[in-house]
Structure 1
Amino acid sequence: MSTSFSLLSKRLQQGIIDRLGWKSLRAVQEDSIPEILAGKNVIIQAATAGGKTEAAFFPILSTIFEEGLLPLSVIYISPIRALLNNQEYRLKKLGSLIGVDAFKWHGEVSYGDKKHFKLNPEHIMATTPESLEVLLMNRDKLYNNLFENIRFVVIDEVHYFAGSDRGIQLMSIIERIQQYSKFDIQRIGLSATIGNPNELLDWMQGSSKRKQSLIQPDANTKRKTKLFIRYLDEWSEDELYERVLPIIKNKKSLFFADSRSLAEKIANTMHEIGLNSRLHHSSISKLYREQTEHLLQKENEIMVACTSTMELGIDVGDLDLILQYNAPNTVSSFLQRLGRTGRREGKVAHYEFITVNKEALLKSIALVELARRKWVESVHFPFHSYHVLIQQVFSSVKENNGASQHQLLQLLKYRFNFSAIQEKEFIQFLDELVSNDCLELVDGTYFLSDKLDEQFSRRNYMDICSVFETTKEFIVKYQNRDIGTLDPWFVNIYYKETEPFVFILNGLVWKAVEIDFNRFIIHVKEAEKGAIPIWLGSGQKVSFEIAQQILKILSGYENYPYLDQNAKNKLKEYRTDFQYFGMKPGNIVIEEEPKGYTIYTFAGDVINYTIATFLKEYTGTEIKSDYQKINIKIKDYPYNNLESNIEKVKNMATRESLEILKKFVGDIKLAKFQKYLPKFAEEQYLVEQLFDTKKMKEYLCNVEIDWRLL
């Protein structure tokens, strides 16, 4: 074994050799062990199933053993319960190498087991941010010392957290736990590839005084990749039987879709053409999800239609093939999904895009080309995250049975996402929460108002612990066993008293026998044909980089060897039409029309929406935008006025732009706790979420405008 291996405790070395049967360490483990043993906060960035968990836990376990650390000493945090359940056995096995154990804490674990753990904690606790929040809020004197020995926090899929409200909440929770620990908690993040890993390290650092280290082992350049983009004229049984079934047959594969509805559609159609297919998404019951995970590990010929629940590192064994319906939303997702196949020595990583429309074909090519250039998205970090700060205020007040202004001001310290909020703004924030009957101030101590205290009472206290909105869904039962859940919106739209209510769930067709609208339960029996269910969700934005790459593809002549013949023919059609249009990278084309103007930018959804909002202010008319263009409906508007307005947008001062954008955030609702925000805080939060003035100005200053007037 290596030098890094020799740094580990003798007992752990013996366990790795004798019980795990390892003969060598992977590069990511070689690089991580000395840095973690040196006490540094680290980001370990490597492909899915690349050995990141062992890279983190080998040096952690060695430290626990060598220093005789007392429990609870490690908190492992996962974004989803499915991954938590999957990792529990792994953490227990690793812990057993030095004689320590792991405990899984989340909502499905019994009260008795949790109480026993509080009294007799293990060394490792695996949990989610929401469960940690519950633990903090429900501390009592008996368990006050639970966090005093915390030495390590391991955040799995840290890139996923960093780009979300849950990540902002998590960083604040870790700082609150830090108050109780006698150690400077060492922070270890396990990440997929992102564009700004050093900024991710800073985000994770918080109040820690430890040095930082970024672990990025060299990619496995020996791994071969087989990649195709296919184009189907239609999604039909005939097309799939002829062109997709031969690819999947006799293989173990995942078929990704970017919505639950599409995953249901895929599983049902594949089942109809005789394929052994299963389904995995968040509205399938836990029983069937775990059954599917077990089958993936055991069987060699199976296809699972899935959403991003299968992107986040759940161990399903070695896969032969990844398929993608249309295109994922980011290069990061594409690379993470690609990393799920071809993991074994000598195996080929095999990825197939199955596209069914123009946008999907162009986006798929764009993702592949950006990945080939080694480009991947950076995580966006907002700094005015009032919508999570307010949740942390409510939670802290409840945790401490009241809190002083000084105590609440600590919530701003060392929180990356609150760093632009000044102390005087926070005091104004608290004052307005009192005025708006969210908080009460009694003798210098803040309490929840009677209204909110009742709202977040014992029965509903979980509502204050999560920053995402949860809608009560209908539970579907067959022979009194849970199949999954349906969105109430879908049930209300499709259910008619005079007609059979037939739908697809878990890839199979069901007919409602009885619907209990009071208890949100639907009892079903098997049926033959039904509607694909719809779950409401937010659409994904196309980034500036992907939009610009699509423009480059349409305006260029490069051949892409990974396209099938159908896709090549379609791309040729699209290019012929577009090249007569004559737009190229570095240009904006503005076409005058009888009822206004269309501005073609290919600048992405956010930049175009930002430009459109400013032009709406200056023209006083309705303007719509998407990732390619901006449509202005205004008759008899001189082009030189529009030209002047674009110059204004390009050169306006930051304060002026902020005041304009605040006018247009209106009643847009993006976050669960947004409804409690004072107006000034809500405006700052929304402007930061919806617009990007900095990138917009950079773009406008580096393009030439091609005017095409009537």
Structure 2
Amino acid sequence: MASVSQDKPPFEKGGLGGFAFDQLHPALQHHIVNSLGWRSLRPLQEAAIAPILRGEHAILLAPTAGGKTEAALFPVLSRMLSERWEGLSVLYICPIKALLNNLEPRLAHDAGLVGRRVALWHGDIGPARKAKLIADPPDILLTTPESLEVTLISRRIDHRRLFANLRCVVLDEVHAFAGDDRGWHLLYLLERLRRIAGRDLQRLGLSATVGNPEQLCDWLAAGSAQPRGVINPPADASIPAEVELDWVGNLRNAALVISRLHRGEKRLVFCDSRVRVEELAIELRGLGVRTYVSHSCLSLEERHAAETAFSQGQNCVIVATSTLELGIDVGDLDRVIQIDAPSRVSSFLQRIGRTGRRSGTARNCLFLITKEEAFLPAAALLQLWSEGFVEPIEPPPLPMHLFAQQIMGLALQESGITVADWPAWLGRLPGLATLERGDLQRILDFMLETEILHADQGLLGMGRSGERQFGAKHFMDLFSVFVSPPSIKVFHGLQEIGEVHQSTFILKEEGPAVLTLGGRSWATKYIDWPRRKAYVEPTELRGRSQWLSAGQPLHFALCQAVARVLAREEPPVAFSRRAVEHMAELREAFDWVEPGKTFLIADAPGSLVWWTFAGRLANAAIANALAGEATKVIADHLAISFTGVVDLASMATAIREKVFGKATELALPLDEEFIAELKFGECLPAELRDREMMARYDCSDALAVLASLPMAAIRLRDSSGAEWQC
């Protein structure tokens, strides 16, 4: 946000302000001009005023640092003043607590100018502070979906009194919600809040990176008859971004490059796993680089200290996961460096958007590729970016398990609910409107049969099985929609450092477990297993921590772009000399690649690789269908490998019939690992649970594109001189 001007110049009407600015409440106009010292509004801020004042639902789009927060806040504050909203009337919801903490001072200042109050409500806010907020609610409450669920379920909070005056909800970084089950959870919570408030709630979503904004807007306004629209005015012309890709081969070399490059500047380095963040931080500190660390498994105090020190320093590096992708203020950055590549163009746009905020500076990002398997995906991602592609946001289909979770939440919220009551709370059924009511009744019947629910004279409450599975610590398991891996909190004395997966402490040799956390190494002194706490002390030994998380599958469009990168002569962005040489080697090895084709390659007798460039999910479905055609079948993002193929001609026939046949319906095998990802899946009958999982891992679109591509037959010669035809 613009800093306060000392001379308080007048507002430039007729520029970016004018008629739109005049629609704001006079008190707010006065403070924008005289207290904030603003001379003009940004394009999004001007365009958002009229539709928000009319009460429309909206998606507000602008590049990072494009003024989205004020674009939503100013007209909402104007409505608050003009329409005399009282009590808690606005919820401002963020995907992570750190972003809420970061936004609170800024929102509190702006709202305070017109006599309105802002407060935080999340898991790190103490009981005494929450009790004061309940007794005297603020006008705007900053919170997360999980904290909202706690508030609704808690018997110590009169949620009807607290939310009675609610009128508007702002969803910051809305794309981070919509792409997974937290989005559906949030929409169900808004349905319950709508019932409590007795009115439809205006919904405003903020984002910098969306490939399908109209569809996202429809998702946000699900079930509402109110007008909705996307607000996405042309952005101001900016200096072209400076993007470069370098091949360094390993993480130690990446640390060496970072230590020598851009000395004296502030550098934000992204890694896409917490393990890599910790390893790189150790390497950088070993090279004398002032290094800070930020990721979700560090304690709040550790993260805040690191982010504050970095924001106030110079000539330093902060190494982070995607937690610093979401707009948290870490000061005025000079450089963004990406280790390997994110799996989405949208993530890259968020990250590069952290730079170039000073007048006359360009957005920039340096890719340092440390692993062979990351080089082509990184180049393909930059190819897509150069083409203007951004992935569409695709909410996971059929969230039936969340319907079950919401029924349990309502049973606790209302101290019992009848079968006739729930449609009044959830009747618009976000994500499930296409289901038959009989399917939903089957879920309720199943939960009663398995004693997850209990019926007493028609009143549904938690049953014995439900209490056993979800009742620990006041039903904490119901608040979040994701399965939490078993973790151990790590302490140095009384100071909490963070948490790691419990497998970190499985001893493989004599001596204490040595782990890395916060970019430092720690030797374990004692583990309190019942309380799930580990006590550590600093050590010079090198350790390694464990966190279990599955990497995101690469988008179909990204895998297809790999073929285009291999086939083109010039790289999509600036490549270092090392990267140019490495790409030349890859192009020579893949000199047969042509975009718009798939390739069957026999690289040895009995071995066959089908290069589909279709992505891991589609390839896994194909591998499952062809499992009987070879002794071993392995799928990855780009290809399917077959070992022990008896007859190549019969394999080609099997592909035509089993993969591309008219009656073929390919699907992923739903093993226990897949099913375990579905929290509350045990609340669904097996047939409905399988239907949901099949819908979520559907790859029919990718397979349809694949079926339209010609398959190239390539004749190869092995080392003995024998030839064969694919």
TM-score scaled to structure 2, two decimals? 0.92
Q: Secondary structure at the match of 1:598?
A: strand
Aligned residues: 699
Distance 2:710 2:562 in 1: 17
1:587 correspondence with 2:597: yes
* Residue correspondence of structure 1 range 96-135 to structure 2 within 5 A: 96-135=112-151
Instruction: Please name the residue that 1:689 is paired with.
Output: 696
Q: How far did residue 217 of structure 1 move? A: 2.4
Match of 1:605 among 606, 609, 616: 616
Contact 2:624 2:669 in 1 (8 A): no
Instruction: Please name the residue that 1:235 is paired with.
Output: 251
Match of 1:501 among 513, 536, 553: 513
* Residue correspondence of structure 1 range 217-256 to structure 2 within 5 A: 217-236=233-252, 240-241=255-256, 243-256=257-270
Q: Secondary structure at the match of 1:132?
A: helix
Distance 2:648 2:496 in 1: 63
1:625 correspondence with 2:625: no
Distance 1:232 1:586 in 2: 31
Distance 1:621 1:388 in 2: 40
Distance 1:100 1:330 in 2: 39
Q: Secondary structure at the match of 2:553?
A: coil
Match of 2:70 among 54, 74, 86: 54
Letter of the 1:334 counterpart? F
1:533 correspondence with 2:533: no
- Output one character per residue of 1:573-609: Cα deviation in whole Å (capped at 9) or x when no partner: 1111110xx1312212123564454221111112212
Instruction: Please name the residue that 1:646 is paired with.
Output: 656
Distance 1:233 1:630 in 2: 25
* Residue correspondence of structure 1 range 342-361 to structure 2 within 5 A: 342-361=356-375
Q: How far did residue 685 of structure 1 move? A: 1.5
Against the structure 1 CA distance between its residues 317 and 649, is the aligned structure 2 distance closer, same or farther, given a 3 Å change threshold? same
- Output one character per residue of 1:216-261: Cα deviation in whole Å (capped at 9) or x when no partner: 1223432332221111143336x743x3323231011110000011
Distance 1:413 1:119 in 2: 31
Q: Secondary structure at the match of 2:713?
A: strand
Tell which deviates more after alignment, 26-35 or 517-526: 517-526
Against the structure 1 CA distance between its residues 676 and 623, is the aligned structure 2 distance closer, same or farther, given a 3 Å change threshold? farther
What's the C-alpha RMSD, in Å, of the aligned pairs? 2.2
Distance 2:171 2:606 in 1: 53
Q: How far did residue 644 of structure 1 move? A: 4.9
Contact 1:74 1:154 in 2 (8 A): yes
Q: How far did residue 345 of structure 1 move? A: 1.3
Q: How far did residue 316 of structure 1 move? A: 1.6
Instruction: Please name the residue that 2:705 is paired with.
Output: 698
Instruction: Please name the residue that 1:78 is paired with.
Output: 94
Q: How far did residue 430 of structure 1 move? A: 1.6
Instruction: Please name the residue that 1:462 is paired with.
Output: 476
* Residue correspondence of structure 1 range 293-308 to structure 2 within 5 A: 293-308=307-322
Contact 2:488 2:502 in 1 (8 A): yes
Q: How far did residue 26 of structure 1 move? A: 1.1
Q: Secondary structure at the match of 1:145?
A: helix
Letter of the 2:283 counterpart? T
Q: How far did residue 619 of structure 1 move? A: 5.0
- Output one character per residue of 1:520-558: Cα deviation in whole Å (capped at 9) or x when no partner: 322222221212312111122111111111111112322
Q: Secondary structure at the match of 1:86?
A: helix
Q: How far did residue 6 of structure 1 move? A: 1.4
Contact 2:660 2:707 in 1 (8 A): yes
Letter of the 1:167 counterpart? G
Distance 2:70 2:268 in 1: 25
1:136 correspondence with 2:136: no
* Residue correspondence of structure 1 range 235-314 to structure 2 within 5 A: 235-236=251-252, 240-241=255-256, 243-314=257-328
* Residue correspondence of structure 1 range 516-595 to structure 2 within 5 A: 516-560=528-572, 562-579=574-591, 582-592=592-602, 594-595=605-606
Contact 1:608 1:626 in 2 (8 A): yes
Q: How far did residue 361 of structure 1 move? A: 2.1
Q: Secondary structure at the match of 1:536?
A: coil
Match of 2:54 among 29, 38, 54: 38
Q: How far did residue 477 of structure 1 move? A: 2.1
Gaps of 5+ in 1: none
Instruction: Please name the residue that 1:200 is paired with.
Output: 216
Against the structure 1 CA distance between its residues 680 and 705, is the aligned structure 2 distance closer, same or farther, given a 3 Å change threshold? farther
- Output one character per residue of 1:122-166: Cα deviation in whole Å (capped at 9) or x when no partner: 110110001111111125785422222111000011001000111
Instruction: Please name the residue that 1:489 is paired with.
Output: 503
Contact 1:412 1:421 in 2 (8 A): no
Instruction: Please name the residue that 2:462 is paired with.
Output: 448
Distance 2:158 2:58 in 1: 34
Against the structure 1 CA distance between its residues 129 and 16, is the aligned structure 2 distance closer, same or farther, given a 3 Å change threshold? same
1:513 correspondence with 2:529: no
Contact 2:504 2:546 in 1 (8 A): yes
Tell which deviates more after alignment, 249-258 or 135-144: 135-144
Q: Secondary structure at the match of 2:490?
A: strand
Contact 1:326 1:353 in 2 (8 A): yes
Q: How far did residue 275 of structure 1 move? A: 0.8
Instruction: Please name the residue that 2:7 is paired with.
Output: none
Overall identity of the aligned pairs, in %: 32
Against the structure 1 CA distance between its residues 420 and 305, is the aligned structure 2 distance closer, same or farther, given a 3 Å change threshold? same
Contact 2:255 2:280 in 1 (8 A): no
Instruction: Please name the residue that 1:24 is paired with.
Output: 40
Q: How far did residue 379 of structure 1 move? A: 1.0
Tell which deviates more after alignment, 208-217 or 316-325: 208-217
- Output one character per residue of 1:55-96: Cα deviation in whole Å (capped at 9) or x when no partner: 000000000011111111001111011111111111211211
Distance 1:453 1:91 in 2: 40
Distance 2:704 2:197 in 1: 45
1:680 correspondence with 2:687: yes
Contact 1:383 1:420 in 2 (8 A): no
Against the structure 1 CA distance between its residues 288 and 686, is the aligned structure 2 distance closer, same or farther, given a 3 Å change threshold? same
- Output one character per residue of 1:15-40: Cα deviation in whole Å (capped at 9) or x when no partner: 11222221111111011111211211
- Output one character per residue of 1:456-488: Cα deviation in whole Å (capped at 9) or x when no partner: 337241211111122342222223211222211
Contact 1:409 1:423 in 2 (8 A): no
Instruction: Please name the residue that 1:69 is paired with.
Output: 85
Q: Secondary structure at the match of 1:418?
A: coil
Distance 2:709 2:351 in 1: 34
Instruction: Please name the residue that 2:722 is paired with.
Output: none
Q: Secondary structure at the match of 2:691?
A: helix
Distance 2:651 2:499 in 1: 54
Q: Secondary structure at the match of 1:406?
A: coil
